[in-house]
Amino acid sequence: MAVADFVKSAGESFRVGWKIESNWTDPVLFATYQVIRPLASLLIVAFIVIIGAAAGASQNPTFYTQYLAWLIVGNAFYAFVLQIMLGMAILVHVDRTRYEVLKNIYISPGTLHPYVIGRGLVSVVNGAVSVILTLLFSVAIFNGLLHMNIPLNLLNVNLLILFPAVILGIISLLAIGYMLCAVNIVSNRMEFILGDSVSGIFFLLGGVIFPIALLPSYVQPISNVLPITYLLNAVRESFGLLPTASYMSDLAYLALTTLVTLIIGITVFRLAEQRAKKLGLFDRKSEY
């Protein structure tokens, strides 16, 4: 398939996906829905830290403000994981069982690949909206409203460091989302579990709300092969919350893990596609 055709098909898929996800309500309510969940997640962890500070668990008060800044950035960018994993994990089920259009998409000249990519990009846009709004609200709430003086200055973010890391991170997450779609093409029992499982593993092992050094030593090797770990490290470095000296090595590891997930994602998807065609799974109905 020519690149231009692929891009065109992915663009059309994005347009359809965006309409499905957003046109059930007006834009203001849609934006509110997009921001409330990640903001509530952030408030949960922030209040845990505030309760810890009030209990005087640590003698050093600056520890809490620094930790809160570290945590806000990790939690905000975790929105990409949530949106992409949950969006792509349910995609095949919704199109095959609910709208019953997966078979039509499959037999169209565009094929499934650009379709999945286009729908995944809708989750990326949703994730980006959540990240930006969560960061803005965090500064407004914790520094503006609660006067906590958290060392988080959104105007001092090093965008040259941030963008390459975010782009690589998004590619790796889309590749993982690709695998989730592949699993759902050949299975009809995992659609409600997969997205939560993968995002839950990333939440625990990816250094989202605590440094991975606090994990048991036998689990840390798993954290070290997850792209999310390096994505969040690099993002925190761009916000000045970690020393930038290790940025290049974090970016290199992120690029390497992204390449590996991309190869595995495409391979798994192709295998699932072949198996589904062989067993006639593209029009399987599973909800009665």
Partner 1 sequence: MLPKATPREELLTNLRAAYARMWVRLRGSNREITGLVAEIGLPILTIGAYVILYRAIGLPPTAGAAVIIGGAMIAFWTNVLWNMSSQWFWERESGNLEMYLVAPVSRMSVLLGMAMGGSVNTSIRALGIVLLGIFVFQVPFQLADPLSVGLVFVLTLVALYTMGMLFASIFMLYGREAWNTANLLQEPVYFLSGAYFPRIYAPVVPFALQAAGSLIPMTIGLDAIRRLAINGESIATVWPHILALISCTLILFPLARRALNYMESLGKKEGRLTLRWQ
Other beta carbons less than 10 A from residue 44's beta carbon: 11
Distance, CA of 250 to CA of 256 (rounded, Å): 10
Q: Supply the minimum distance, in Å, between the C-beta of residue 7 and partner 1.
A: 28
Nearest to 116, CA basis, from 166, 193, 184: 184
Nearer to partner 1, 32 or 149 (CB): 32
Least distance between partner 1 and beta carbon 190 (Å): 7
Q: Report the residue number, 35 or 266, with the smaller CB distance to partner 1.
A: 35
Closer residue to partner 1 in complex, CB, 16/157: 16
Enumerate residues 6+ apart whose C-beta is below 8 A from 2: none
Residue 42: name the closest of 106, 138, 124, 112 by CA.
138
For partner 1, the binding residues (CB under 8 A) are 20, 24-25, 33, 36-38, 40-41, 43-45, 47-55, 57-58, 64, 67, 98-99, 189-190, 192-193, 196-197, 200-201, 203-204, 208-211, 214-215, 287-288
Q: Which residue lies nearer to partner 1 by CB, 28 or 159? A: 28
Q: DSSP string spanning 194-235? A: HHHHHHHHHHHHTTSSS-GGGS-TTTHHHHTT-HHHHHHHHH
Instruction: Compute the least distance from the CB of residue 55 to partner 1, in Å.
Output: 6
Between CA 26 and CA 23 the distance in angstroms is 7
Angle (deg, nearest 10), helices 112-138 and 27-54: 50
Q: How far apart are CA 170 and CA 168, in angstroms?
A: 5
24 or 163, CB closer to partner 1? 24
Token duo for residue 70? 């570290």
Q: What is the CA radius of gyration of the chain?
A: 20
Residue with Cβ nearer partner 1 (10 or 69): 69
Residue placing its CB nearer to partner 1 in the complex, 4 or 60: 60
Q: Please answer whether residues 36 and 134 qualify as being in contact, where contact means their C-beta atoms are separated by less than 8 angstroms.
A: no
Q: What is the smallest separation between the CB atom of 52 and partner 1, expressed in angstroms?
A: 4
Residue 205 Cβ, how far from partner 1 at the closest point, in Å? 9
Q: Tell me how far, at minimum, the Cβ of 189 lies from partner 1, in Å.
A: 6
CB of 159 to partner 1, least distance (A): 29
- Any residues with CB less than 8 A from the CB of 269 and at least 6 apart, and which? 113, 116, 178, 179, 181, 182
